Structure 1
Amino acid sequence: MYSSRHYSSRHTAFQSIPVVDITGLRADHPATRQATAANLGQAAREAGFFYLSGHGIPTPLIERLQARTRDYFAQPLAEKMRDYIGQSHNHSGYVPEGEEQFYGGKVDKKEAYDVGFDLTREPTKWPMVGANQWPSLPGFKEDVKAYYDAALALGQHLFRGFALALGLPETTFTDQITTPPSQLRLIHYPFDPDTPADRPGIGAHTDYECFTLLLPTAPGLEVMNGAGEWIDVPVKPGCFVVNIGDMMEVLSNGAFVATSHRVRKVAEERYSFPLFCSCDYDTVIAPVLPPAEGVTNDRYQPVVCGEHLYAQTIQTFRYLRDQWQAGTLALPDAARALASFGRLADNDEAERPHASE
């Protein structure tokens, strides 16, 4: 999901993020897919963030997702706590405000509902993959799962596009994606005019996974450009926002760099729907290319995808952290501390906080 990290001056000093139309990734002709992938690669290299058009997800599917989410968060807290994430076996369910906390910083002003790849066959050997905990709210499971499946399929197109952009065979990444621990978060940022200005929706961070497909409903998102400036990312109707994550930075050996981003104190009620796209749980995340210019051979060390995600989650979520600190839950082998993955040592970012979109 999220890590606090350094920013890289290898990004340009962009003042707005680019728009990439990925319609061509679905074309039958390889040259059309390659040309579209080149645009994708340029945006990933120069900004690590871009708007995505031509995504193909039907508007009614998005509208039903948003309606079910509003209905769910409008319930009393006691009702939502019936679905508390700490009751689940695969990290799915309701996340109340204050459940997540990073580096002892301020608590993010948000609540969420987390779902993942709904693997219902038993048994499953991975702690972050399995049957989701679904609330009893009518239509919630059906509409959220329909959106998840459509967004996950869109993610597969992007994985193929990124492979082509890096000069790799088109299926380099998708060959390692069958039942991934790719998490969809339904996030609610309530509007409270009395919230202090230094209480962000979410603090500065990068995302752990390969990339994130984000659907926001209101302003608030800011990204850091190559000059270290915070740039506003307004909502663009009909578009998703995509950002490179730490694991894609590692896989590309620094060709694509994850970009720091945050959600400032919101000026209106805001909902956000990030899908964090990853490879399968047992996939070893290691560079598949020679180092990018300026990157040393030992900059990026291999890590097991799911084990890393689980280790970061244990250290972030209270219900798991309490078990770990009590000695009833162990970190995976070779677990790393928070904010230790996919970070560049070029420049120190002033903020070292918590979690975001």
Structure 2
Amino acid sequence: MTASPSPLPVIDLSRFDGDAAQRTALLNEVRAAAFGPGFFYLVGHGIADDLIRAVLAASRQFFALPEADKLAIEMVNSPHFRGYTRAGLELTRGQQDWREQLDIGTEHEATDLNRDAPAWARLQGPNQWPAALPELKPLLLRYQSEVTALAIKVLRVFAVALGQPEQVFEPIYAPAPHQLLKLIRYPGRAAGSSDQGVGAHKDSGFVTILLQDVVAGLQVETEQGWIDAPPLPGSFVVNIGELLELASNGALRANVHRVVSPPADTDRLSVAFFLGARLDATVPVLTLPSELAAHSRGVTQDPRNPLFREVGRNYLKGRLRSHPDVARKHHADLLNEFDRTPELVAAGD
């Protein structure tokens, strides 16, 4: 996998709360990024450096735990797709992703998996936390809360950039948006082996807020080919998810991206947060001003990966296809409805 070093734009979010000229400049930059690569670096975000450092350090501590401690909270034990996944057990386009990870969703009480309830209701439930690292839970829930507020602010920026009221998406995410936080470690791989850290995919939510450590690997597909998105100190990488593509009729496009495995003598660490709508929501189609509607490209039509406006159905599809071990153990009755043919699926960075 090769890519050019073309940089993504760097956008200062603090200008959204500035004067009229600052806000206008910000919105113009966001539109240019959205109509172009669909990705940008975000600075001026307001998340404290000490919290970021603590989350990265705790991620290192988690992945350094003995294998038995991590496997005690393995995702296959959770019908809600929460917990630890070993390298090679998640698939993208039917191929193994070479990363280990911990998935943390919205804290939710255990629910009875009533077969008469909507299938997406099975996604709601408790997280799994490592007994050997009790400090991880309060730290990650604090970070999840703060990055959720940040992601909602970014969502409001996108709304205004589309000529809409700031709160236009609130009816489908309030009072509690769907949250997914992933701690991800990409082990190094020897030259000559597959370099798929995670294969080419799109993200399924509104927006993704990605924290990278110091090792590069993220690549973004553009009309000119693949470009690198190496770590930029003090920033997050933001990208558009499928919900915004659906709502804007493709004016905002969920872009394809991937992660290349690092060299054998190192590893790569990232923390990805995905902001989604409520699972019971249906994504509306916005009426855009004529000058912006001209950018509408329609929703991506991929027969291998259909997009549903029903949020829970769309998200469940991705989970079942990405984690076939969990699907077989807990949701075998859904596999005919959600055929798991290899395709672009939401996976994370």
TM, length-normalised to structure 2: 0.83
Matched, 1:38 2:34: no
Report the equivalent of 1:114. 103
With CA pairs under 8 Å and 6+ residues apart, which has the higher RCO, 1 or 2? 1
What is the identity, as a one-letter code, of the residue corresponding to 2:10? V
Check if 1:23 corresponds to 2:14.
yes
Distance (Å, rounded) in 2 between the aligned partners of 1:353 and 1:197 = 23
Alpha carbon RMSD of aligned pairs, Å?
A: 3.0
- Measure the CA separation in 2 of the matches of 1:301 and 1:87: 28
List aligned pairs for 1:58-77, cutoff 5 A. Answer: 58-77=48-67
Residues of 2 paired with 1:297 and 1:102: CA distance? 21
Give the Cα–Cα distance (whole angstroms) in 2 for the partners of residues 187 and 99 of structure 1: 13
Q: Distance in 1 between matches of 2:345 and 2:80?
A: 25
Hey, what does 1:160 align to over in structure 2?
Answer: 156
Partners in 2 of 1:175 and 1:14 — Cα distance?
40
Residue type at the aligned position of 1:115: I
In structure 2, relative to structure 1, the CA distance for the partners of 1:195 and 1:301 (3 Å cut) is closer
User: Residue 320 of structure 2 aligns with which residue?
Assistant: 314
Question: What whole-Å deviation, never above 9, does each CA across 1:168-201 have from its counterpart, x for those lacking one?
Answer: 1110113322322221110011224x25343321
SS in structure 2 at match of 1:307: helix
Q: 1:302 to 1:111 in 2, by over 3 A?
A: closer
CA distance in 1, matches of 2:139, 2:248: 35
Deviation at 1:202, TM superposition (A): 1.3
1:150 aligns with 2:146: yes
Q: 2:122: which partner in 1?
A: 127
The residue type equivalent to 1:304 in the other structure is: E
Show the 5 A alignment for 1:88-237.
88-105=78-95, 107-120=96-109, 126-136=121-131, 137-177=133-173, 178-192=175-189, 194=190, 196-217=192-213, 218-227=215-224, 229-237=225-233
Judging changes above 3 Å, is the alpha-carbon distance between structure 1 residues 296 and 150 closer, same or farther for their aligned structure 2 residues?
Answer: closer
Distance across 2 between alignment mates of 1:39 and 1:336: 39
1:330 to 327, 334, 337: 334
Deviation by residue 1:17-62 (Cα, 9 ceiling, x = unmatched): 10111113345x6775455333222211122010000110001111
Aligned counterpart for 2:283 among listed residues 252, 276, 285 = 285
Q: 1:264 to 1:121 in 2, by over 3 A?
A: closer
| 1:295 Cα deviation after fit | 3.4
- Output one character per residue of 1:135-189: Cα deviation in whole Å (capped at 9) or x when no partner: 2213110111111111111001011111000001110113322322221110011
TM superposition shift of 1:337: 6.0
Q: Is the 8 A contact 2:73 2:129 kept in 1?
A: yes
Structure 2 stretches lacking a partner, 5+ long: none
Residue segments in structure 1 that go unaligned for 5+ positions in a row: 1-12, 341-351
Q: CA 1:121/1:149 → structure 2, altered by over 3 Å: closer, same or farther?
A: farther
Tell me the residue number matched to 1:47. 37
- Structure 2 partner of 1:254: 250
Q: Percent identity?
A: 31
Query: Paired residues, what number?
Result: 327
**Alignment partners' CA distance in 1, 2:151 and 2:84:** 24
> 2-side partners of 1:356 and 1:296: how far apart?
24
Determine if contact 1:197/1:265 at 8 Å carries over to the other structure. no
Aligned to 1:349: none
Native 8 Å contact 1:53 1:239 kept in 2: yes
The answer to whether the Cα contact below 8 Å between 2:220 and 2:255 also exists between their aligned partners in 1 is yes
Change (3 A) 1:314 1:179: same
Q: Distance in 2 between matches of 1:318 and 1:145?
A: 27
Give 1:112 shift: 0.2
Deviation at 1:315, TM superposition (A): 2.0
Deviates more, 1:296-305 or 1:62-71: 296-305
**Distance (Å, rounded) in 1 between the aligned partners of 2:310 and 2:218:** 30
Q: Distance in 2 between matches of 1:260 and 1:337?
A: 19
Q: Residue 297 of structure 2 corresponds to which residue in structure 1? A: 295
